[in-house]
Amino acid sequence: MKTTRKCRSLWSVGLNLLALFFSITAFATTYWCVGTQRVPKPKCSKLRTHQCIDYGVNETDPNKVVYSWETGDDRFLFRQFHTGIWLSCAENIHDESEMCRSFIDLAPPSEKGMLWLSLVSELLYIVLLVVGFSLMCLDLVRSSNVIDGLKLNAFAAVFTVLSGLLGMVAHVMYTQVFQVTVSLGPPDWRPYNWDYGWSFCMAWASFTCCMGASVTTLNSYTKTVIEFRHKRKTFEQSIREEHAREAFGHFRECSLHSISKSVEVYSSQTPKSGRKTPIPADSLSDIAASLGEEQC
């Protein structure tokens, strides 16, 4: 099924808009990685009677030894946490609120440079997506002018491909930084288990839509160039055929004119009566004598 240039431009704009929406959402949220953290249970009190360690009524007496029968993982709480590019938030074990810390502060010193590079790449990724989206919208508005549309298509494709490459690099670098932080980060933050969250999935979905938009834009550019060259070749061929017909007609008219002139001259030289003029006898004898001399 053949698609028009406007339909291809609409596809490019739609994919670029999806990539822009996914990238901004992923960049602003803190669910790139989710999991649980193991923290010691707090002491029981009058306000807190569950998920705590009860040391008995004489816990304030320093002369008495108090035992806790909770061992192993029973001595710990497993709280949920979620981490983004900017922040890492976890449940507060004392109330229902959340505690958030800067992920840049949690990263090891050896990985902070890569984390900042990932942040800058993410920002450039979004900026280039905005530029590509603007160029595609201009191409959609000025779709009547083929030459301007080709230029806008070319620039939009270049900006979209560059943004996709920067986004891929940023996502890979953040993944590496997070894995190192899990092993070398602060002990009170290290996850017990973790997995990638929906923000991380949206980031890679944004990259996929970005690459789809760039491929669609390049395809539109290539098809437009091919169609333009085909129309130009057809136009030039029709002009050549028209010139050939005009030249043939002119040659035919000249030929007919020259033939008609020859016929007129011949008809003017012949006598009007249809009789043949007799040749005199003296002339015949002269002709015969000349023929005999030529033979000798």
Tell me: the pLDDT tens digits for 256-296? 566 656 555 555 555 544 444 454 545 444 544 444 444 44
Query: How far apart (Å, rounded) are the C-alpha atoms in residues 263 and 40?
Result: 124
pTM for the model: 0.68
Residue pair 25/199 in contact by the 8 Å Cβ criterion: yes
* Predicted pLDDT of residue 55: 57
The structure tokens listed for 145 are 């002018």
Query: How far apart (Å, rounded) are the C-alpha atoms in residues 18 and 98?
Result: 31
Which runs of consecutive H residues, i.e. helices, occur in 90-145?
103-106, 112-141
Give the burial class of 257: count Cβ atoms within 10 A of its Cβ; 0-12 exposed, 13-18 middle, 19 or more buried: exposed
* Predicted pLDDT of residue 172: 94
* Predicted pLDDT of residue 144: 65
Query: How far apart (Å, rounded) are the C-alpha atoms in residues 154 and 128?
Result: 14
- pLDDT beneath 70, residues of the chain: 1-3, 5, 42-76, 143-146, 224-233, 235-237, 240-241, 243-244, 246-296
Query: How far apart (Å, rounded) are the C-alpha atoms in residues 42 and 62?
Result: 19
pLDDT cut 90: percent of the chain above it: 31
Query: How far apart (Å, rounded) are the C-alpha atoms in residues 117 and 175?
Result: 13
